[in-house]
Chain A
């Protein structure tokens, strides 16, 4: 089981997002006034400034926009992981999220731009929140 750094609270913008992970839900926001998709979570719409933001549940499927396979990280939580793929995922609902692409034999060969992926939720050694990660579809 992995021991990733966890989100820290009090932090009111991202609390709902992380609470939803406990039910294996990937959530994003959409403005009720102008329909703008907002991510990462925050208090006001990035298009019109409204605070009337609806929380929506993503289907969790998307495309790798770009990625990097990291070979060196001095953070102990990742130092022993070996090479791992950090990626921006464009979710089908229209938001972009930083995550890891996992579940591949060799990230150097098996992760690519444009790849279709879907979310999984990874339980951690400590902490109640699940970490959303992505695997190839």
Chain B
């Protein structure tokens, strides 16, 4: 299939604060939408398509329309956890290509730090549904789902904690170059706001064996917005468009005899790369949902950057840093591990991909032409979604 360039990211905004006790989530969304429209040079009244993950107080397709005072004619309320924004971007691509929409907004606002939501290290399963009734008595925490993937990966492939720690090290390396990430770690009272080593990760306390504290995402406030527009609109926006050239969507869930070391990305990502007409080895920057180190490790394999089971060697030696060769630059904003994680990080994967392809990242890959954003929503090792978007510079 020939590569199509029908829809592009033309406006972006990342809400800078990671601790915002004095605003509401829907205010974060509205503020970000206005800033992203300004970034694009578009008007409030230009919006004709609304994509919303039903986050924030009174959000959703109806609630956010009413709050903003807009009357979109495409309304998509896809909510599949942290990868919601990759799914929504995929749908916006389709809707724009079909001529149903011209200016689409995606937005996110969350108060997870203020509300002390236990994303990384806590979490109790509530019972009362067919699946929860089988889990609640066993004290599964959110992280435990990921930890069980890590153990199985180690068992089958000999992957080590030291290897997984390389993901935390590379991500922090990028975070220290991003002033917003440095401020975030300061505001959220990180023990050391500095670059870290593999040994630092190994020395941090184990939360759920084999995962250490420095392999867990932070819990922050935050949000952002993205404007996706048709190619006709993109001709006249303020900055160079960042084209959406491939998308893939998939689910994965617990199955009898299933392979827990394989994520939904293994099904969806090949569809995205095929649509884009590019191979993983052509990718300059990879924004991969780093809820935990193991999430990145598994998804790097499933996206085809290396073979299943070989990620331990692949990520060793700092290969994922923006100024190293031999692989894509990973999570160049600092990721969920070291920049922000208000709960649904998929928004930021697209934002940083756009910054890389505009040449605006604080850990800029020289001459970046192709990026991939891969969101993993729900629970790796449990029920989850994978959303892949391949992006290209103008």
Determine the residue in chain A with the shortest Cβ distance to B118. A74
Is the C-beta of A70 less than 8 angstroms from some C-beta in chain B? yes
Across the interface, do B139 and A81 meet the contact criterion of CB distance under 8 Å?
yes
Chain B residues with CB under 8 A of A37: 256
Q: How large is the interface on B (under 10, 10 to 19, 20 to 34, 35 or more residues)?
A: 35 or more
Across the interface, do A88 and B260 meet the contact criterion of CB distance under 8 Å?
yes
Chain B residues with CB under 8 A of A25: none
Is the C-beta of B99 less than 8 angstroms from some C-beta in chain A? no
Across the interface, do B135 and A18 meet the contact criterion of CB distance under 8 Å?
no
Chain A residues with CB under 8 A of B179: none
Is the C-beta of B199 less than 8 angstroms from some C-beta in chain A? no
Is the C-beta of A49 less than 8 angstroms from some C-beta in chain B? no
Complex CA distance for A114 and B155, rounded to whole angstroms:
9
Chain B residues with CB under 8 A of A120: none
Given contacts A68-B148, A72-B122, contact A78 B139 (CB under 8 A): yes
Complex CA distance for A131 and B125, rounded to whole angstroms:
16
- Residues 34-57 (chain A) with a chain B CB within 8 angstroms: 37, 39-42
Q: Which of B122, B125, B148 contacts A74 (CB 8 A)?
A: B122
A114 to chain B, nearest CB (A): 7
Is the C-beta of B144 less than 8 angstroms from some C-beta in chain A? yes
Complex CA distance for A39 and B131, rounded to whole angstroms:
10
Is the C-beta of B115 less than 8 angstroms from some C-beta in chain A? no
- Residues 72-111 (chain A) with a chain B CB within 8 angstroms: 72-75, 77-78, 81, 83-84, 86-88, 90, 94-100, 108
Chain B residues with CB under 8 A of A68: 144, 147-148, 150-151, 208-211
B147-177 toward A: CB 8 Å interface, digit per residue (1/0)? Answer: 1111110010000000000000000000000
Size of chain A's interface in residues, with CB distance under 8 A? 46
Across the interface, do A90 and B257 meet the contact criterion of CB distance under 8 Å?
yes
Chain B residues with CB under 8 A of A73: 122, 124, 139, 141
B116 to chain A, nearest CB (A): 10
Given contacts A66-B148, A66-B260, contact A71 B139 (CB under 8 A): no
B182-224 toward A: CB 8 Å interface, digit per residue (1/0)? Answer: 0000000000000000000000011111110000000000000
Across the interface, do B129 and A11 meet the contact criterion of CB distance under 8 Å?
yes
Chain A residues with CB under 8 A of B69: none
Complex CA distance for A91 and B48, rounded to whole angstroms:
53
Chain A residues with CB under 8 A of B138: 4, 86, 98-100
Interface of B is mostly: loop
With most chain B CB atoms within 10 A of its CB, the pick from A66, A84, A90, A108 is A66
Complex CA distance for A102 and B316, rounded to whole angstroms:
36
Chain B residues with CB under 8 A of A90: 256-257
Is the C-beta of B238 less than 8 angstroms from some C-beta in chain A? no
Across chains A and B, the number of contacting residue pairs, with CB separation under 8 Å, is: 131
B126 to chain A, nearest CB (A): 8
Across the interface, do A75 and B124 meet the contact criterion of CB distance under 8 Å?
yes
Across the interface, do A18 and B133 meet the contact criterion of CB distance under 8 Å?
yes
Across the interface, do A41 and B208 meet the contact criterion of CB distance under 8 Å?
no
Chain B residues with CB under 8 A of A86: 138-140, 144, 148, 208
A113 to chain B, nearest CB (A): 4
Chain B residues with CB under 8 A of A113: 151-152, 155
A3-31 toward B: CB 8 Å interface, digit per residue (1/0)? Answer: 01111100101100110000000000000
Chain A residues with CB under 8 A of B136: 4-8
Chain B residues with CB under 8 A of A77: 139
With most chain A CB atoms within 10 A of its CB, the pick from B150, B205, B206 is B206
B215 to chain A, nearest CB (A): 13
Is the C-beta of B77 less than 8 angstroms from some C-beta in chain A? no
Is the C-beta of B43 less than 8 angstroms from some C-beta in chain A? no
Complex CA distance for A99 and B138, rounded to whole angstroms:
6
B116-128 toward A: CB 8 Å interface, digit per residue (1/0)? Answer: 0010011111111
Across the interface, do B256 and A42 meet the contact criterion of CB distance under 8 Å?
no
Complex CA distance for A131 and B128, rounded to whole angstroms:
16
B39 to chain A, nearest CB (A): 39
Across the interface, do B148 and A71 meet the contact criterion of CB distance under 8 Å?
no
Across the interface, do A96 and B125 meet the contact criterion of CB distance under 8 Å?
no
B344 to chain A, nearest CB (A): 21
Q: With A68-B208, A70-B141, A86-B148 given, can you name 11 additional A-B contacts, CB distance below 8 Å?
A: A6-B136, A6-B137, A8-B127, A66-B151, A66-B152, A70-B139, A71-B208, A86-B138, A90-B256, A98-B140, A114-B155
Please list 27 pairs of residues, one from A and one from B, whose beta carbons are closer than 8 Å in the complex, sorted by A's number: A5-B126, A5-B127, A7-B127, A7-B128, A13-B133, A40-B130, A41-B130, A65-B152, A66-B149, A66-B152, A68-B144, A68-B147, A68-B210, A69-B208, A69-B209, A70-B144, A71-B206, A73-B124, A74-B118, A88-B260, A90-B257, A95-B256, A97-B134, A98-B134, A98-B135, A100-B138, A100-B139
Q: Which 10 residue pairs of A and B lie closest in terms of their CB atoms, listed nearest first?
A: A68-B147, A75-B124, A8-B128, A66-B152, A7-B133, A69-B209, A13-B130, A78-B139, A74-B122, A113-B155
